[in-house]
Amino acid sequence: MIKNDLFLKALKGETVERPPVWMMRQAGRYLPEFMELRKKYDFFTRCQTPELASEITVQPIRRYGMDAAILFSDILVIPQAMDIEVQMKPNFGPYLPNPIRSQEDLDKVIVPDIQDTLGYVMDAITMTKEKLNDEVPLIGFAGSPWTLLCYCVEGQGSKSFDKARGFCFTQPKAAHELLQKITDTTIAYLKAKVKAGVNAVQIFDSWGGMLSPQDYQEFSWNYIQQIVDALKDEAPVIVFGKGCWFALKEMANSGASAVGVDWTCSAQNARYLTGGNVTLQGNFDPARLLSPPEKIKEMVTQMIRDFGKDKYIVNLGHGILPNIPVENAKAFIDAVKEYKE
C-alpha cells in the first residue's frame, strides 16, 4: 500500500481533495544536489549504477515532496540495449555514431533479452522502492517507438528530425521494421519494470509533433497503441505526446489511464478533444517557471480551475528546464498542495 495515493487515485479517475503533482524531468537537471553527482559520474554511469539512479530519483521528493517519483534513467537505454551505440556528450546531448540509414544497418539491430541488457534498471527500481518506503508511487517510462526512431536515424538531437522523417517516407518498410523491433523491446522492458515494482508507466512521444496527423497515425500512434494494449492490464499507462493535440482523441480512447497535454493546448480544448472522461496531465509552460514565485502560484491555481481538480494530474507541458531556480519549482509544487476549491 502506498501512503500518498493521490496520483494513483487520479489515474483511476477517483475524486480527490486536490490533484496530485509531479514534474516531467524532475529528477536531475536543475537540482544542486544532482549537479554534485553529475560532476563525479558520467551520464550512463549514473543510469547504470542503482545506488546513483535511486538516489537521484528520490532527491526531488525529499526537497519538494511531489506526489510521485519518476525513475532516473533515459529513453535511450532502449536503443543501447538493441546494440545501437549511444553516447551522451557533455554540452551536446545524445550522439549515436552509427545511425540507422539502411536495411543493412537495421539487420544488425537486435530485440534483446531485457534482464541481460537492462537488468540494472530493475535493480535501480528495487533500490528506489526501498528508499521511497511506500511514501509515494514510482513512475517508470519509455520513449515512444517513433521518438526513439528519431534518435536512431538522425544520430543526434534535431529541431525537425528531417532525416528521420525522410527515412520513413523513402524506406517505409525498413522504418516499420525498426519501429516494430523497438515496440517489442519496449513492451518487454515496461513489463519487466512493472514486475520490478513501478506503479505506473509513462510513454514519452517527445517528437510526435514533427509528423502530420496522418503520418502520426502510421508511424507513431499504431505502435504506442500496441504498448498500451500490452501494458494496460498490468499498470496504469500515461501517454504524452509533445505537439500531438491532434491525436488526443485516439489517446483518450486507447485504454491509457491518463493523457499528457503540452502548453499549446488549452485545458478546455484538451477536455473537449478527449471527450471529457479521461484523466489529463499537464500543461504548464516550462519556461513559465521563470516567472516570479507569486505569479507561478497564481497561474497554477488558475490552471487547476481550468482543468478541474478531478481526473487531473498537475504537471508541466514538457520537461523542466535546467535553468529553473529551486524556489520557483517549489512555488509550482506548493501552489498545488495549498489548493482549495
- Consult the annotation and say whether 206 binds a ligand: yes
Q: Is 220 in the site for ligand CP3 (CB under 6 A)?
A: no
Residue 141 in contact with residue 203, Cβ under 8 Å? yes
Q: Is 38 in the site for ligand CP3 (CB under 6 A)?
A: yes
Q: Is 26 in the site for ligand CP3 (CB under 6 A)?
A: yes
- Consult the annotation and say whether 176 binds a ligand: no
Q: Is 70 in the site for ligand CP3 (CB under 6 A)?
A: yes
Q: CB of 195: closest distance to ligand CP3 in angstroms?
A: 20
- Consult the annotation and say whether 28 binds a ligand: yes
Q: CB of 17: closest distance to ligand CP3 in angstroms?
A: 26
Nearer to ligand CP3, 41 or 215 (CB): 41
Residue 68 in contact with residue 93, Cβ under 8 Å? no
Query: Residue 158 — left, alpha, or beta (φ > 0 → left; ψ -120 to 50 → alpha)?
Result: beta
Specify whether 134 is catalytic.
Answer: no
- Of these, 6, 27, 100, 278, which contacts ligand CP3 (CB under 6 A)? 27
Q: Is 163 helix (H, G, I), strand (E, B) or coil?
A: helix
**Distance separating alpha carbons of residues 28 and 21, to the nearest angstrom:** 17
**Distance separating alpha carbons of residues 209 and 292, to the nearest angstrom:** 30
Helix (H) or strand (E) holding 126: helix 114-132
- Consult the annotation and say whether 26 binds a ligand: yes
Phi and psi for 49 in degrees, rounded to 5? -105, 105
Specify whether 305 is catalytic.
Answer: no
Beta bridge partners of 241: 205
> How close are the terminal C-alpha atoms of the chain, in Å?
28
- Consult the annotation and say whether 25 binds a ligand: yes
Nearer to ligand CP3, 277 or 323 (CB): 323
Is 319 exposed, middle or buried (CB count within 10 Å of its CB: 0-12, 13-18, 19+)? middle
Helix (H) or strand (E) holding 201: strand 200-205
Q: Which amino acid is at 77?
A: V
Convert residues 169-208 into a mask of x (bound to ligand CP3 by CB under 6 A) and - (unbound).
Answer: -----------------------------------x-x--
C-alpha distance from residue 176 to each of 145, 228, 334 (Å):
10, 18, 44
- Of these, 2, 29, 87, 293, which contacts ligand CP3 (CB under 6 A)? 29
Residue 96 in contact with residue 86, Cβ under 8 Å? yes
Nearer to ligand CP3, 158 or 217 (CB): 158
Among 63, 74, 134, 306, which one carries the catalytic annotation?
A: 74
Nearer to ligand CP3, 240 or 246 (CB): 240
Q: Which amino acid is at 235?
A: A
Q: CB of 33: closest distance to ligand CP3 in angstroms?
A: 13
Nearer to ligand CP3, 171 or 315 (CB): 315
Q: Is 28 in the site for ligand CP3 (CB under 6 A)?
A: yes
Q: Which amino acid is at 123?
A: D
Which of 224-258 are b and which e, b meaning 16 or more Cβ less than 10 Å from the residue's Cβ?
Answer: bbbbbebbeeebbbbbbbbbbbbbbebbbebebbb
Beta bridge partners of 138: 69
Neighbours of 84 (CB within 10 A): 24
- Of these, 62, 93, 113, 234, which contacts ligand CP3 (CB under 6 A)? 93
Convert residues 271-310 into a mask of x (bound to ligand CP3 by CB under 6 A) and - (unbound).
Answer: ----------------------------------------
Q: Is 72 in the site for ligand CP3 (CB under 6 A)?
A: yes
Residues that are catalytic = 25, 29, 38, 74, 151
- Which parts of this chain interact with ligand CP3 (CB under 6 A)? 25-29, 38, 43, 70, 72-76, 88, 93-94, 141, 143, 157, 204, 206, 319
Pick out the residues of the known binding site for substrate: 25-29, 44, 74, 151, 206, 318
